[in-house]
Structure 1
Amino acid sequence: MAYDPTQVATYLEGAEFPATGGELAGVAAGNDAPEELLTRLRSFEGRHFQDAPAVAEALTQGTD
């Protein structure tokens, strides 16, 4: 699935960075993100992200 960086940023609105994938999944769930995105964010649990663009890049690259 392709992730639009603008849409990802919308789902992460209110997140405090740096944050782990699990923390971001919690924020995204509160912002009604689709389950597929939540699953991907949870897969990044051990990673720390500095900002929303870094999250979008990781999602686009498919790395975890």
Structure 2
Amino acid sequence: MQERIIRAIAGTLVLTSILLAVYVNINWLFLAGFVAVNMIQSSITKWCLMNDILTKLGVPK
């Protein structure tokens, strides 16, 4: 369950940053870059901050 939520949050953040970059300011692409770096980091280290946050919120694994 948490993995699906994490993927949904990441996808939403990337799409939101792209829309903001097109309509507001190109610098919003840094948000998409941050999400991408975090996804790469979590695949290497097997640790994800959002996973910890969802666990503390009581979302089942």
| TM bracket, shorter-chain basis | 0.3 to 0.5
Task: Judging by fraction of residues, say which structure has more helix.
Answer: 2
State TM-score, norm by structure 2.
0.35
TM-score after normalising by structure 1: 0.34
Higher Cα Rg: structure 1 or 2?
2
Give the number of the structure whose residues are more often strand, by fraction.
Answer: 1
